[in-house]
Amino acid sequence: MSVAMKEQKPAPRPWRMLFPLFAVLALGLAWSAYWIIASSLAQTAVAERRAALAERGQRLDCSEEGWGGFPFRFEFTCADPVLTADAAGTAQASRLRAVAMAYDPWHLLLLVDGPTRLSRSDGAALTLNHDGILASLRFRDQTTPPDVSVEIPKLDIVGWYTADDILIHTRPEADGAMGLALTASRSNYQPEGRPPLTVAAGSLLATLRPDGVLAVANIELQEGPTIYKGQGEVWLDAAHRIAGQLATETNDFDGLMRILEPHLDMTPDQFAGLKAMMGLLGQNSKANLIAQDGALYIGPFKVADLLPLY
């Protein structure tokens, strides 16, 4: 009896071998169905949003556009994008891609290929050459503005400003305010008819309030051993010129004066007076930087005229 039982073999069950294959196929079909449905919903939501913005004079036009990204992404591509805001003007680039991972649709990545051309409604234009701009938008819900991070590498605003790299971060804060952090490396400002003004590293930490006031917690500029920093509040006046006041200080007064001298609208006597006044405070000088009525002052000394930003 025992010998006969040992000779018995279990009945073959081929379905066990096929089960992993069936599971993978079922999972693939379920994921494909999810992607098709979610992609369709995303396209509908984007179309509705573009239509709503167009009614307010804000449009995105493309010479060619399409959707893709299967199986793990939702991807929108736009060739020759032109963003139009009737009140401000247009922004035109070479190519725009918007990408969201299918498993995290609330995190949107934007890639913009340059050059970018900005045109105001009055006809003035500005060309920005740059490597690919990468922007990250992380949405918390449908009513709160997203957390935004933008990297602009190798920026060249033709004939005006260059920077090796610019990083910008914003996030919504309480009472409708917007937190702002910015860093820039190897900035080079080239005013017409004057030598370039170079800043090796610059940073800004501030809050933009709903009333349009920028509360600066810290702004810091560094060129070589010279550091210039400050804090205060600034805004735009009725003529769109910077106004406000920053309490500033430097660790190297002589170095700061050497950097600024070619860029200050001051006579030699006025510049000598400024140096004498500030020199009384030593190398670690402190002074108020005041923008008022279209003019920029260091303490009581007018150092430059301020033009409208737009």
pLDDT value, residue 183: 97
Contact 276, 236 (CB under 8 A): no
290 inside domain:
no
Residue 13: which pLDDT band, with cuts at 50, 70 and 90?
low
pLDDT tens readout for residues 34-65: 889 988 988 998 898 889 888 888 899 999 99
- Tell me if 31 is assigned to some domain: yes
Is 232 part of a structural domain of the chain? no
138 within a domain of the structure (yes/no): yes
Residue 1's pLDDT is: 45
Q: Which of 67-81, 117-131, 255-269 has the lowest mean pLDDT?
A: 255-269
Q: What is the mean pLDDT of the chain?
A: 87
Mean pLDDT, range 282-289, rounded to an integer: 77
Please give the tally of structural domains in the chain: 1
Domain membership of residue 96 (yes or no) is: yes
Res 230 pLDDT > 90: yes
Greatest mean pLDDT among 94-98, 189-193, 278-282 lies in 94-98
pLDDT tens, residue by residue, 131-160: 999 999 999 887 888 999 999 999 999 888
pLDDT in tens, 246-271: 999 988 888 888 888 887 777 787 77
Cα gap 17→44, rounded to integer Å? 42
Does 229 map to a domain?
Answer: no
Residue 221 is predicted with a pLDDT of: 95
* Mean pLDDT computed over 168-192: 93
Q: Provide the pLDDT for residue 22.
A: 75
Do the domain assignments include residue 200?
A: no
Q: Which residues have a Cβ under 8 Å from the Cβ of 97 and sit 6 or more positions away? A: 75, 76, 77, 78, 110, 111
Report whether pLDDT(235) > 80. yes
What is the predicted pLDDT for the residue at 16? 66
Q: Is residue 71 part of a domain?
A: yes
pLDDT band with cut points at 50, 70 and 90 for residue 285: confident
Q: Among all chains, which residue has been given the structure tokens 């919504």?
A: 172
What's the pLDDT band for 298 if we cut at 50, 70, 90? Answer: confident
User: Left (φ > 0), alpha (ψ -120 to 50) or beta: where does 171 sit?
Assistant: beta
Lookup: tokens for 135? 């922007």
Mean predicted confidence (pLDDT) in 71-88? 90
pLDDT at residue 3 is higher than 80: no
Q: Exposed e or buried b for every residue in 53-79, given b needs 16+ CB within 10 A?
A: eeeeeebbeeeeeeeebeeebbbbbbe
Structural domain boundaries, residue 80: 25-158
Beta strands in the chain (DSSP E): 58-61, 64-68, 73-79, 82-85, 89-92, 95-101, 104-113, 116-120, 125-129, 133-138, 147-157, 161-172, 178-189, 197-208, 214-223, 226-236, 242-250, 286-292, 295-298, 301-305
